[in-house]
Amino acid sequence: MGKTVIDVNNNIPFNNNVDYCVGTGRLGLALTAEYLEQLKLVQKEIGFKNIRGHGLFCDDVAIYQEYEEDGITKVEYNYTYIDRIFDSYLELGIRPFLELGFMPEKMASGTQTIFYWKGNTTPPKDYKLWTDMVIALLKHLRSRYGEEVLDWNIEVWNEPNLPGFWYKADMEEYFRLFKETFTAIKAYDERFQVGGPAICGVNDEEWIQKFLEFCKAEGIKPDSVTRHHYTVEFPERIGHYDYSKLEEPVARLANLQSTRDIVESFDEFKGLPIHITEFSTSYTPKGVIHDTNLNAAYLAGQLSHLGDMNTSYSYWTFGDVFEEQGVPFTPFHGGFGMVANGCIPKPTFYTFAFFKQLKEFGTDCIFRDDTAVIVKSDKGFAGILWNIDTDDFTRTFTFPVSGEYTLITKTVDEDTCNPLKIWHDMGEPPYLTKAQTELLRDCAKPLFGSDVISAENGKADISLTAKRNGVVYFELTPRTFTPDRGYDYDKVLSFH
C-alpha cells in the first residue's frame, strides 16, 4: 500500500462506545468463582460500565416465591442471590443492565423452556403478578443501592421475535408485555429508562416498524430501541461444534442502518438511542470462530463503525462460563466469551482492550477507513490497524509533525497471540493442568514494539504491518530525551 497522509485538522464522527456494556451468561452463574475471576480480569484490563444477561427472574435466582396460607396462595420475594450477584458486579465497577426475563415457573402460563437451564419463555398467567414483581425488585434495588438505580437501563424481555424465546413469537402478546411493564415502571418513577423490543435477526425490520407503530398508537415513548446483531450465515454442526461463514461487513452494517432509518421515520421517536444489547460474529455458544484471530480482526472493523448508527453495542459475552447448550467439554469450544475458561484471554479480548485504550487516549478522530482508525489528543496520536483474513500488508501513515516521536506498538495476530494454536499443538487437552493453564495465559499476550521516529521537513512516516487476521494498536507521542550523565545507549549495545 502507498503512503496515507494524515490531516490532523480532520474532524471525523466516531462514537467509540466500546466500554458501555458487555454481555454475560445467565445471572445465576455469577455465584461461581471462575465467573468472577474472568469478570475481574475483564474489568481490570478493559473496564465495562454495564453488564447484561438473561435469567433475572429464573428460578435459580429465586426471586419469585409462592406459598399457601389459610388455603390462599400468596406471593413473597427472595433477594438473597440477586443481592449477592449485584454486590459482586458493583464491587468490580460494573452496573447491571436489567433484562427483564425469563418467566418464573410458578408465574408462567405455559411450560415452554429454552436452554440447558430451562428458562421459561411463556407469558405470565397474570400480568399483575409480573408487574408487581418488577416494581418490587426496583424498589428493593433502590433501597439497597440508592438513586443510582434510576440510571440502570431496563430492557423488556429477550428476542421475542424468535419462537424459542417467546411462545410462538407472538408479536401482539409481546407488545402487551411491553406496555404493561413500561406503564407500571413509569407509574412508579418515570425517570427509569425502559427499552425494547430486543429482537434478533428474523423479520427485524417488520418488528421494529410495528413496535414503534404500536408505541405511537398507545402514546408510549420508549427510552430506547434495542436489538441484536450477529454476522454469520447458518452454521454447519459437526459433533460439539458449529462452523459458520462470515457475512460481508458492509451488508451487516446496512442492516443496522435500516433500524436507525425506521426510528428516524417517526417524528415522535427521532433521535432515540439504539442499544445493540448483544452482538458478536456467530450466534451460537459452540461457534468455533469465537476463539480465533479472525474473530478479533473482524470485530475491529465492526467496532470502528457500530457507533455510527447506535448509541451502544454490547459484546456477547465477556467470558466462557456459559451453559446455554450444556457444560463445555474443552477450554476452546467456540464459546461466546472474550476470555476462555482458565482465565485465558482470547485474541478478541485485545481488540476490545485496544479500542478502550484508543478511547482513553483521545476522542478526536482524524482518520478512519476499512482497515484503520486514528485519533489525536494533546498527548499525540493513537490508532488501530486490522487485517481481515487477507495477505499481510504494510501501511505507511505520514503525520505533519516536527521533532522526535516515540512509537509504541501492540500486536495481536496468529504468530504473536494465538492461544488456540498453542492448545492445538499441545494435543488439544480437554482438561488443563495448572501448568498448561499458566502456559496458555502466558502466550495469550500482545507483542510490544517500539521505535524512535524522527520527522524530516515537517513530516514523519510510520509503517505498520498487519499480518493475516492481525490487529495492531499504536501510539505516537513526542519524545523528550533526558539521558543521565555518562550514559550512552549506543555504546552500551556495542560494548564487548
Give the list of residues 6+ apart from residue 154 with CB closer than 8 angstroms, or none.
98, 100, 185, 192, 193, 194, 195
C-alpha cell belonging to residue 284: 451460537
Q: Alpha-carbon distance 398 to 357, whole Å?
A: 22
- Site of grid cell 445465576: 28
Select which of 99, 155, 159, 414 is catalytic: 159
Q: Which residues of 205-225 are buried (b: 16+ CB within 10 A; e: fewer)?
A: eebbbebbebbeeeebebbbb
The partner residues of 100 in beta bridges, in order of sequence, read 156
The residues, any chain, with a CB within 8 Å of residue 221's CB and separated by 6 or more, are: 215, 268, 269
The pair phi, psi for residue 191, each rounded to 5°, is -80, -15
Neighbours of 274 (CB within 10 A): 22
419 CB burial (10 A radius; 0-12, 13-18, 19+): buried
Distance of CA 210 to the CA centre of its chain: 27
Please state whether the peptide bond connecting residue 197 to the residue before it is cis, i.e. omega within 30 degrees of 0: yes
397 preceded by cis ω (within 30°)?
A: no
Alpha carbon separation from 423 to 295, 400, 420 (Å, rounded)? 17, 45, 5
Which element (helix H / strand E) includes 87? helix 80-91
| Buried-state track 88-116, b at ≥16 Cβ within 10 A, e below 16 | bbeebebbbbbbbbbbbbebbeeebbbbe
Could you confirm whether 159 is annotated as catalytic? yes
Computed from CA positions of residues 265, 269, 274, 277, in that sequence, does the dihedral angle turn out positive or negative? negative
The span from the CA of 26 to the CA of 122, in Å, is 18
Question: Which among 278, 276, 290, 447 is positioned nearest to 354, based on CA atoms?
Answer: 447
Q: In what order do the strands lie in the sheet with 3-5?
A: 3-5, 393-399, 460-466
What burial letters (b/e) apply to 456-470, b meaning 16+ CB within 10 Å?
Answer: eeeebebebebbbbb
Active-site positions read 159
